[in-house]
């Protein structure tokens, strides 16, 4: 099984960007980012079980178990400068992977977290995974994104909702373990109309790093990074390639 997908290898790349998807997302969420990155950067996106070509595989048991296996998958690719980017659930996952990498002596250039409250902030953690299909689809529609369009079709709900619920259960069961702040700088990105996290709430991520911190707000909702992908990739590139 392959946990990380690379659209195209770039042997001359001096840096790598690892992207972690939102609940219900797949590696295709970042398929258009490859062309926006400079030729000196290579993109690897997570492909979690239960979806796309891994549809028949069981979902991970916990966020910790998922972070453990993704950390192992990344190790052979850490021979050059690298950064992590995670959106929504992917932000929490990228944070936990960064903790593990630091514990092994690796030093990411930066952790980018998008559309997510800080891992120690448990406000508004509703048990969406327990909602019935109609209620869950209604909640997902409020966030926007391509999943909302897909779930408008009854046949697609039967395929997509099981792994969306599985991802939501991972996030809902997650509990932040106390520990020292990251040595890795953290950049927070979000949309100004995101119903999941406000700019004020996003500032809580600063407590999770002892290094540099920045907060960038873009026009848009929870999935602001789809129409604003060029600006988001440009922001990442400035830190990845210095």
Tell me which residue of 108, 31, 96 sits closest to 69, measured CA to CA.
Answer: 96
88 is an active site residue = yes
| CA pair distance 109, 49, nearest whole angstrom | 28
**Residue ranges of E strands in 21-101:** 41-46, 81-87
Question: Can you give the three-state secondary structure of 139-150, one letter per residue?
Answer: HHHHHCCHHHHH
- Token readout for 173 is 């069961």
Q: Exactly one of 26, 59, 62, 88 is catalytic; which is it?
A: 88
| Residues found in the chain | 242
Say how many C-beta atoms besides its own lie within 10 A of residue 177's C-beta.
Answer: 10
Residues taking part in catalysis: 88
């Amino acid at each position: 099984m392959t946990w990380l997908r690379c659209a195209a290898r770039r042997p001359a790349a001096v840096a790598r960007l690892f992207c972690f998807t939102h609940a219900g997302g797949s590696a295709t969420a970042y398929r258009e980012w490859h062309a926006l990155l400079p030729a000196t950067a290579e993109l690897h996106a997570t492909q979690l079980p239960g979806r796309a070509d891994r549809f028949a595989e069981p979902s991970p048991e916990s966020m910790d178990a998922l972070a453990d296996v993704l950390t192992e998958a990344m190790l052979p690719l850490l021979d050059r400068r690298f950064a992590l980017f995670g959106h929504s659930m992917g932000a929490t996952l990228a944070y936990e992977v960064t903790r593990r990498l630091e514990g092994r002596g690796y030093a990411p250039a930066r952790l980018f977290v998008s559309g997510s409250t800080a891992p120690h902030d448990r406000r508004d953690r509703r048990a969406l995974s327990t909602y019935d299909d109609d209620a869950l689809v209604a909640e997902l529609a409020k966030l926007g994104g391509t999943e909302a369009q897909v779930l408008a079709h009854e046949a697609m709900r039967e395929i997509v909702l099981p792994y969306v619920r599985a991802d939501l259960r991972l996030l809902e069961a997650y509990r932040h373990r106390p520990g020292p702040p990251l040595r890795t700088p953290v950049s927070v990105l979000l949309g100004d109309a995101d119903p999941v996290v406000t700019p004020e709430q996003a500032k809580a991520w600063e407590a999770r790093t002892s290094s540099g911190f920045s907060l960038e707000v873009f026009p848009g909702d929870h999935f602001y990074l789809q129409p604003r992908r060029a600006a988001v990739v440009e922001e990442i590139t400035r830190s990845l390639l210095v």
